[in-house]
Amino acid sequence: MISRFGLGSRTDARKWIGAGRIAVNGTVIRTPDHWVAVDRDTVTLDGKPLRARERTYRLLYKPGGYLTTYKDPEGRPTVYDLIGDVEEFVFPVGRLDRDTSGLLILTNDAELAERLTNPGYKVPKTYLVKTAAVLGEEAIEQLRRGVTLSDGPTLPAVVHRLRNSASSTFLEIVITEGRNRQVRRMIEAVGSRVRKLVRTAIGPVRIGDLQIGAHRRLTGREVQQLRLAARAGGRSRTVVARNDDPD
Ligand code: URA
Protein backbone atom coordinates (compact mmCIF):
# COMPACT_ATOMS: atom_id res chain seq x y z
CA MET A 1 0.00 0.00 0.00
CA ILE A 2 1.08 3.52 -0.79
CA SER A 3 1.02 4.68 2.83
CA ARG A 4 4.10 2.51 3.38
CA PHE A 5 6.02 5.12 1.46
CA GLY A 6 5.42 7.73 4.09
CA LEU A 7 4.68 11.28 3.00
CA GLY A 8 1.24 11.52 4.50
CA SER A 9 -1.43 9.33 5.99
CA ARG A 10 -3.60 6.68 4.45
CA THR A 11 -6.27 9.33 3.98
CA ASP A 12 -3.84 11.47 1.99
CA ALA A 13 -2.82 8.45 -0.04
CA ARG A 14 -6.46 7.72 -0.91
CA LYS A 15 -7.03 11.32 -2.01
CA TRP A 16 -3.93 11.34 -4.19
CA ILE A 17 -4.90 8.05 -5.78
CA GLY A 18 -8.47 9.25 -6.38
CA ALA A 19 -7.05 12.34 -8.08
CA GLY A 20 -4.83 10.21 -10.34
CA ARG A 21 -1.64 11.69 -8.92
CA ILE A 22 0.05 8.41 -8.00
CA ALA A 23 1.79 6.14 -10.49
CA VAL A 24 3.47 2.80 -9.91
CA ASN A 25 6.21 1.99 -12.40
CA GLY A 26 4.86 4.69 -14.69
CA THR A 27 1.19 3.61 -14.63
CA VAL A 28 -1.37 5.74 -12.82
CA ILE A 29 -3.18 3.62 -10.25
CA ARG A 30 -6.82 3.95 -9.30
CA THR A 31 -7.22 1.76 -6.26
CA PRO A 32 -5.77 2.39 -2.78
CA ASP A 33 -5.28 -1.36 -2.30
CA HIS A 34 -2.87 -1.54 -5.21
CA TRP A 35 -0.04 -3.78 -4.12
CA VAL A 36 3.39 -2.17 -3.96
CA ALA A 37 6.70 -3.93 -3.36
CA VAL A 38 8.58 -1.37 -1.32
CA ASP A 39 11.98 -2.58 -2.48
CA ARG A 40 11.25 -2.97 -6.21
CA ASP A 41 8.51 -0.65 -7.44
CA THR A 42 8.94 2.99 -8.32
CA VAL A 43 6.09 5.05 -6.96
CA THR A 44 5.62 8.66 -7.99
CA LEU A 45 3.42 11.50 -6.76
CA ASP A 46 2.91 14.08 -9.50
CA GLY A 47 5.80 12.44 -11.34
CA LYS A 48 8.22 12.79 -8.40
CA PRO A 49 9.54 9.55 -6.90
CA LEU A 50 8.52 8.72 -3.32
CA ARG A 51 11.14 6.98 -1.28
CA ALA A 52 10.10 4.36 1.25
CA ARG A 53 10.68 5.82 4.67
CA GLU A 54 12.56 3.80 7.19
CA ARG A 55 10.30 2.32 9.81
CA THR A 56 11.16 3.00 13.38
CA TYR A 57 9.81 1.63 16.67
CA ARG A 58 10.28 2.99 20.21
CA LEU A 59 9.14 1.73 23.53
CA LEU A 60 8.40 4.39 26.15
CA TYR A 61 7.72 3.83 29.84
CA LYS A 62 5.03 6.47 30.14
CA PRO A 63 4.72 7.94 33.62
CA GLY A 64 1.33 8.92 35.01
CA GLY A 65 0.41 12.56 34.34
CA TYR A 66 1.39 12.59 30.64
CA LEU A 67 -1.16 12.72 27.83
CA THR A 68 -0.94 10.36 24.87
CA THR A 69 -1.41 13.15 22.36
CA TYR A 70 0.76 15.44 20.29
CA LYS A 71 -0.24 18.80 21.73
CA ASP A 72 -2.57 19.64 24.55
CA PRO A 73 -4.57 22.90 24.22
CA GLU A 74 -4.25 23.27 28.01
CA GLY A 75 -0.47 22.93 27.85
CA ARG A 76 -0.27 19.78 29.97
CA PRO A 77 2.74 17.50 29.44
CA THR A 78 2.48 14.94 26.64
CA VAL A 79 4.47 11.86 25.70
CA TYR A 80 6.25 13.98 23.08
CA ASP A 81 7.88 15.91 25.91
CA LEU A 82 9.55 12.63 26.83
CA ILE A 83 10.77 11.64 23.39
CA GLY A 84 11.94 15.04 22.21
CA ASP A 85 15.31 13.60 21.26
CA VAL A 86 13.83 11.12 18.72
CA GLU A 87 14.48 12.51 15.25
CA GLU A 88 11.85 10.68 13.22
CA PHE A 89 8.16 11.50 13.66
CA VAL A 90 6.48 8.64 15.48
CA PHE A 91 2.92 8.29 16.70
CA PRO A 92 1.58 6.31 19.64
CA VAL A 93 0.09 2.87 19.08
CA GLY A 94 -3.21 3.24 20.91
CA ARG A 95 -3.58 5.37 24.00
CA LEU A 96 -2.92 5.21 27.67
CA ASP A 97 -5.04 7.43 29.91
CA ARG A 98 -3.27 10.35 31.53
CA ASP A 99 -3.16 8.57 34.88
CA THR A 100 -2.07 5.22 33.45
CA SER A 101 1.62 4.48 33.29
CA GLY A 102 3.57 1.82 31.46
CA LEU A 103 4.45 0.52 28.07
CA LEU A 104 3.63 2.67 25.06
CA ILE A 105 4.92 1.86 21.59
CA LEU A 106 5.54 4.76 19.21
CA THR A 107 6.22 4.16 15.54
CA ASN A 108 5.76 5.45 12.01
CA ASP A 109 4.60 2.00 10.83
CA ALA A 110 0.86 2.59 10.32
CA GLU A 111 0.25 -0.96 9.23
CA LEU A 112 1.65 -2.62 12.33
CA ALA A 113 0.05 0.03 14.56
CA GLU A 114 -3.34 -0.79 13.05
CA ARG A 115 -2.85 -4.49 13.68
CA LEU A 116 -1.78 -3.96 17.26
CA THR A 117 -4.83 -1.86 18.07
CA ASN A 118 -7.53 -3.51 15.93
CA PRO A 119 -9.35 -5.91 18.28
CA GLY A 120 -9.78 -8.33 15.37
CA TYR A 121 -6.08 -9.21 15.70
CA LYS A 122 -6.50 -10.00 19.39
CA VAL A 123 -3.06 -8.86 20.45
CA PRO A 124 -3.00 -9.21 24.25
CA LYS A 125 -2.30 -6.17 26.42
CA THR A 126 -1.24 -6.88 29.99
CA TYR A 127 -1.94 -4.52 32.90
CA LEU A 128 -1.20 -4.47 36.59
CA VAL A 129 -4.11 -3.08 38.54
CA LYS A 130 -4.48 -1.91 42.11
CA THR A 131 -8.15 -1.63 43.03
CA ALA A 132 -9.77 0.68 45.58
CA ALA A 133 -11.33 -2.23 47.49
CA VAL A 134 -10.62 -5.90 48.00
CA LEU A 135 -12.31 -7.87 45.19
CA GLY A 136 -14.06 -11.12 46.00
CA GLU A 137 -13.75 -14.28 43.94
CA GLU A 138 -17.04 -13.65 42.14
CA ALA A 139 -15.85 -10.23 40.94
CA ILE A 140 -12.67 -11.81 39.58
CA GLU A 141 -14.72 -14.50 37.83
CA GLN A 142 -16.93 -11.84 36.27
CA LEU A 143 -13.86 -10.05 34.90
CA ARG A 144 -12.68 -13.36 33.44
CA ARG A 145 -16.01 -14.11 31.78
CA GLY A 146 -16.49 -10.56 30.51
CA VAL A 147 -18.58 -7.72 31.85
CA THR A 148 -21.12 -5.49 30.14
CA LEU A 149 -19.98 -1.92 29.61
CA SER A 150 -21.94 0.98 28.11
CA ASP A 151 -20.46 0.07 24.69
CA GLY A 152 -21.25 -3.63 24.97
CA PRO A 153 -19.89 -6.77 26.59
CA THR A 154 -16.16 -7.28 26.89
CA LEU A 155 -14.41 -10.39 25.63
CA PRO A 156 -13.20 -12.84 28.26
CA ALA A 157 -10.01 -11.71 30.00
CA VAL A 158 -7.19 -13.56 31.69
CA VAL A 159 -7.12 -12.40 35.30
CA HIS A 160 -4.74 -13.38 38.09
CA ARG A 161 -5.08 -12.14 41.62
CA LEU A 162 -1.53 -11.32 42.69
CA ARG A 163 -2.31 -10.42 46.31
CA ASN A 164 -4.64 -8.51 48.57
CA SER A 165 -3.70 -5.76 50.99
CA ALA A 166 -6.04 -4.56 53.74
CA SER A 167 -7.92 -2.28 51.31
CA SER A 168 -6.93 -3.32 47.78
CA THR A 169 -6.53 -6.20 45.38
CA PHE A 170 -3.53 -6.34 43.06
CA LEU A 171 -4.39 -8.03 39.77
CA GLU A 172 -2.78 -8.85 36.48
CA ILE A 173 -5.32 -8.58 33.69
CA VAL A 174 -4.82 -9.41 30.03
CA ILE A 175 -7.30 -8.04 27.50
CA THR A 176 -7.31 -8.22 23.73
CA GLU A 177 -9.49 -5.20 23.03
CA GLY A 178 -8.48 -1.62 23.67
CA ARG A 179 -11.61 0.33 24.29
CA ASN A 180 -11.55 3.73 25.89
CA ARG A 181 -10.66 3.38 29.61
CA GLN A 182 -11.54 -0.27 29.34
CA VAL A 183 -9.76 -1.64 32.39
CA ARG A 184 -11.03 1.18 34.60
CA ARG A 185 -14.57 0.62 33.39
CA MET A 186 -14.31 -3.15 33.87
CA ILE A 187 -13.23 -2.68 37.47
CA GLU A 188 -16.10 -0.24 38.00
CA ALA A 189 -18.50 -2.79 36.50
CA VAL A 190 -17.60 -5.20 39.31
CA GLY A 191 -18.13 -2.60 41.98
CA SER A 192 -14.73 -1.06 42.64
CA ARG A 193 -12.38 1.55 41.13
CA VAL A 194 -8.81 1.58 39.84
CA ARG A 195 -6.25 3.14 42.18
CA LYS A 196 -3.28 2.43 39.96
CA LEU A 197 -2.93 1.07 36.43
CA VAL A 198 0.29 0.09 34.69
CA ARG A 199 0.59 -1.54 31.28
CA THR A 200 3.41 -4.07 31.42
CA ALA A 201 3.25 -5.76 28.02
CA ILE A 202 1.83 -5.66 24.51
CA GLY A 203 1.90 -9.14 23.06
CA PRO A 204 5.34 -10.58 23.75
CA VAL A 205 7.02 -7.19 24.35
CA ARG A 206 7.47 -6.39 28.02
CA ILE A 207 8.40 -3.18 29.78
CA GLY A 208 11.25 -5.05 31.53
CA ASP A 209 13.63 -2.91 33.52
CA LEU A 210 13.23 0.29 31.49
CA GLN A 211 13.23 3.28 33.83
CA ILE A 212 10.01 5.23 34.16
CA GLY A 213 10.03 8.14 31.68
CA ALA A 214 12.76 6.51 29.58
CA HIS A 215 12.48 5.13 26.07
CA ARG A 216 14.47 2.82 23.83
CA ARG A 217 14.37 1.38 20.35
CA LEU A 218 12.55 -1.93 19.98
CA THR A 219 14.93 -4.63 18.84
CA GLY A 220 14.42 -6.25 15.43
CA ARG A 221 13.42 -9.41 17.23
CA GLU A 222 10.75 -7.58 19.24
CA VAL A 223 9.30 -6.04 16.08
CA GLN A 224 9.24 -9.46 14.48
CA GLN A 225 7.51 -10.92 17.53
CA LEU A 226 4.88 -8.18 17.44
CA ARG A 227 4.18 -8.90 13.77
CA LEU A 228 3.82 -12.58 14.54
CA ALA A 229 1.52 -11.90 17.50
CA ALA A 230 -0.73 -9.77 15.30
CA ARG A 231 -0.80 -12.40 12.57
CA ALA A 232 -1.54 -15.28 14.91
CA GLY A 233 -4.51 -13.41 16.37
CA GLY A 234 -5.74 -12.32 12.95
CA ARG A 235 -5.92 -15.89 11.75
CA SER A 236 -8.10 -17.00 14.61
CA ARG A 237 -10.86 -14.57 13.75
CA THR A 238 -12.32 -13.14 10.58
CA VAL A 239 -11.21 -9.57 10.10
CA VAL A 240 -11.42 -7.12 7.25
CA ALA A 241 -9.29 -8.63 4.50
CA ARG A 242 -5.97 -6.93 4.05
CA ASN A 243 -2.64 -7.69 2.45
CA ASP A 244 -0.09 -9.49 4.51
CA ASP A 245 3.12 -7.65 5.17
CA PRO A 246 5.80 -9.38 3.12
CA ASP A 247 8.76 -7.75 4.87
N1 URA B 1 -7.52 0.68 30.22
C2 URA B 1 -7.76 1.83 30.89
O3 URA B 1 -8.74 1.95 31.61
N4 URA B 1 -6.88 2.82 30.74
C5 URA B 1 -5.77 2.74 29.97
O6 URA B 1 -5.00 3.68 29.90
C7 URA B 1 -5.55 1.54 29.30
C8 URA B 1 -6.44 0.53 29.44
Q: What is the DSSP string of 126-183?
A: EEEEEESSPPPHHHHHHHHH--EETTEEPPP-EEEEEEE-SS-EEEEEEES---TTHH
- Among 79, 143, 183, residue to substitute to test ligand 1 (most atoms within 8 Å of Cβ): 183
For residue 193, is it within any domain?
A: yes
Checking if the pLDDT of 232 tops 80, the result is: no
How many structural domains is the chain composed of?
A: 2
For residue 101, is it within any domain?
A: yes
- Residues of the domain holding 75: 54-247
Checking if the pLDDT of 148 tops 90, the result is: yes
Average pLDDT (10-33) is 84
For residue 131, is it within any domain?
A: yes
For residue 18, is it within any domain?
A: yes
Cα-to-centroid distance, 63 and ligand 1 (Å): 13
CATH number at residue 33: 3.10.290.10
Cα-to-centroid distance, 27 and ligand 1 (Å): 46
Checking if the pLDDT of 243 tops 90, the result is: no
| 6 band by pLDDT with thresholds 50, 70 and 90 | low
Q: Mean pLDDT in the chain?
A: 88
| 52 band by pLDDT with thresholds 50, 70 and 90 | low
CA-to-CA separations, 118 to 90, 125, 129, in angstroms, rounded? 19, 12, 23
CA distance 4 to 112: 11
Of the residues 97, 99, 245, 247, which is catalytic?
97
Do 113 and 226 belong together in one domain?
A: yes
Nearest CA to ligand 1 atom 2: 181
Nearest CA to ligand 1 atom 7: 96
- Residues having CB closer than 6 A to ligand 1 are 96-97, 100, 181-184, 197
For residue 2, is it within any domain?
A: no
CATH number at residue 59: 3.30.2350.10
Cα-to-centroid distance, 190 and ligand 1 (Å): 16
| 236 band by pLDDT with thresholds 50, 70 and 90 | very low
Task: Give the type of residue at 131.
Answer: T
| 3 band by pLDDT with thresholds 50, 70 and 90 | low
Q: pTM here? A: 0.77
Name the CA radius of gyration of the chain, rounded: 20
Top-confidence range, 9-13, 34-38, 209-213, 234-238: 209-213
CA distance 168 to 161: 11
Nearest CA to ligand 1 atom 4: 181
Q: Which atom of ligand 1 is nearest to the CA of 97?
A: 6
Cα-to-centroid distance, 83 and ligand 1 (Å): 21
Checking if the pLDDT of 200 tops 50, the result is: yes
Do 202 and 138 belong together in one domain?
A: yes
- Among 198, 199, 207, residue to substitute to test ligand 1 (most atoms within 8 Å of Cβ): 199
pLDDT in tens, 58-112: 999 999 999 999 889 999 999 999 998 777 788 999 999 999 999 999 998 988 9
Do 122 and 85 belong together in one domain?
A: yes
Cα-to-centroid distance, 194 and ligand 1 (Å): 10
Q: Which atom of ligand 1 is nearest to the CA of 99?
A: 6
Cα-to-centroid distance, 50 and ligand 1 (Å): 37
Q: Which atom of ligand 1 is nearest to the CA of 127?
A: 8
Do 142 and 233 belong together in one domain?
A: yes
Do 176 and 220 belong together in one domain?
A: yes
Checking if the pLDDT of 9 tops 70, the result is: no
Task: State residue 94's pLDDT score.
Answer: 93
| 1 band by pLDDT with thresholds 50, 70 and 90 | low
For residue 138, is it within any domain?
A: yes
Task: State residue 8's pLDDT score.
Answer: 57
pLDDT in tens, 157-191: 999 999 999 999 999 999 999 899 999 999 999 99
Percent of the chain at pLDDT above 90? 66
Task: State residue 231's pLDDT score.
Answer: 86
Task: State residue 7's pLDDT score.
Answer: 55
Task: State residue 87's pLDDT score.
Answer: 73
Is 245 annotated in the active site? no
Give the other-Cβ count within 10 Å of 175's Cβ: 23
